[in-house]
Copies of this chain bind each other. A is one copy, B any other.
Amino acid sequence: MLNQERMNRVLEKLDADAMLVSDPLAIKYLCGKMIWPGERFLGLLIQNGKEPVLFVNSLFRFEEELGVRKVYFQDTDNVTELVKKEIRKDIVLGVDKILPARFLLPMIEQGIAKGFINGSLAVDHTRAIKDAAEIALMKEASLINDRAMAEFKKLIHAGVTEKEVAAETLGIYKKLGAEGYSFPPIVAFGKNAADPHHMPDATVLQEGDAVLFDVGCKYHGYCSDMTRTFFYKKEPTAEQKNIYNLVRRANEEAEAIIKPGVRLCDIDKTARDIITEGGYGPDFTHRLGHFIGTECHEYGDVSQAFTDLTQPGNIFSIEPGIYHPSILGCRIEDLVLVTEDGHEVLNHYPHDIEIIE
């Protein structure tokens, strides 16, 4: 059913006369119905004072009333013409950031509006402020992730490969009540931990390896995402400990400054300065964090370039890392909620150095 309050928040923020939302998750957010159209067109047209219109392929016909007018079309219909009929030619039309060129270019060519802008910010800014029900689900998803991490650690033993460990994680999530992954799990041993996007492969665990888990699950459609880096059988070297503790401090000191009204770039800076002063600045190769919700990566960065201020209801990751192939690859990541007067870290799995025996 149409969520009028969310819709109003989007329309208020919109810099255009109408908005054609095409991201299935944004459409679900606004009218409560998940439709996955594959390569076919799907659009929710919203404009002030008019009934929203949902354009949906007849293949996905449904009876449910959503409080929107449905316009069905066949594979052979011209989608551009259908949208054209529903809007005035002299308006500026906001389109979704993910609207593919194959739909956007014909709309521009046929001049169905006088101007086109990326209108997704209005939706994204709305989605970035979670309401109470969303926060409750995100907390539960992260609690499941905490419990799962303790189980994943038990999968580590002599002779095991990354792939074998990764293959067990889905079952553990499901047993703990999650419906599935929020993203394919990263399990990285030794040098592989120094590749931030390593995919689990046939690498066999060795004594002294770092063991990195970057993992998350979904709970009622909401995502968790956490990283911990363990050591296998051997005490880390002094250099490794130094890197680990820099990453840990970067994580904890960045988290400590989070409250409403802080520039997201300043949170990144807090972590980055610690790593840079420790001499590993060039080995921290990515942003500090990303917003998260029904998608694992939602609009909003904790990065040097992102100057927006935090607001109550924001949830994002804090995930500093140092990737030094010959010493250690290490990342420590939590999800953090901005509250009315501070913050709440949604992950509770400890940050201490842990040696798996």
Q: How far is the CA of A285 from the CA of B57 in the complex (A)?
A: 11
A108 within 8 A of partner (CB) = yes
* Given A76-B305, A303-B76, A59-B102 contact (CB < 8 Å): no
A320 within 8 A of partner (CB) = no
Residues of B with C-beta under 8 A to A39: 297
Taking a contact as CB atoms under 8 Å apart, the answer to whether B118 and A102 are in contact is yes
Report A99 CB to chain B, min CB distance, Å.
4
Report A303 CB to chain B, min CB distance, Å.
6
Tell me the chain A residues, 91-133 only, with Cβ under 8 Å from chain B. 95-102, 104-105, 108, 116-118, 120
Taking a contact as CB atoms under 8 Å apart, the answer to whether A102 and B108 are in contact is no
Number of identical protomers = 2
Q: How far is the CA of A60 from the CA of B75 in the complex (A)?
A: 37
Q: Taking CB as reference atom, which chain B residue is nearest A286?
A: B59
Residues of B with C-beta under 8 A to A58: 285
Q: Could you mark each residue 53-70 of chain A with 1 if its beta carbon is under 8 Å from any beta carbon of chain B, else 0?
A: 000001110000000000
Q: How far is the CA of A117 from the CA of B101 in the complex (A)?
A: 9
A339 within 8 A of partner (CB) = no
Taking a contact as CB atoms under 8 Å apart, the answer to whether A38 and B297 are in contact is yes
Q: How far is the CA of A95 from the CA of B301 in the complex (A)?
A: 27
Q: How far is the CA of A38 from the CA of B199 in the complex (A)?
A: 14
Report A98 CB to chain B, min CB distance, Å.
5
Taking a contact as CB atoms under 8 Å apart, the answer to whether A286 and B75 are in contact is yes
Q: How far is the CA of A16 from the CA of B95 in the complex (A)?
A: 25
Taking a contact as CB atoms under 8 Å apart, the answer to whether B105 and A118 are in contact is yes
7 residue pairs from A and B, CB less than 8 Å apart: A58-B285, A75-B286, A98-B100, A100-B100, A101-B120, A102-B120, A105-B116
Given A98-B101, A101-B118, A105-B118, 13 more contacts at CB 8 Å?
A38-B297, A59-B196, A59-B286, A60-B197, A75-B286, A75-B287, A75-B303, A97-B100, A98-B102, A99-B101, A100-B100, A105-B117, A108-B108
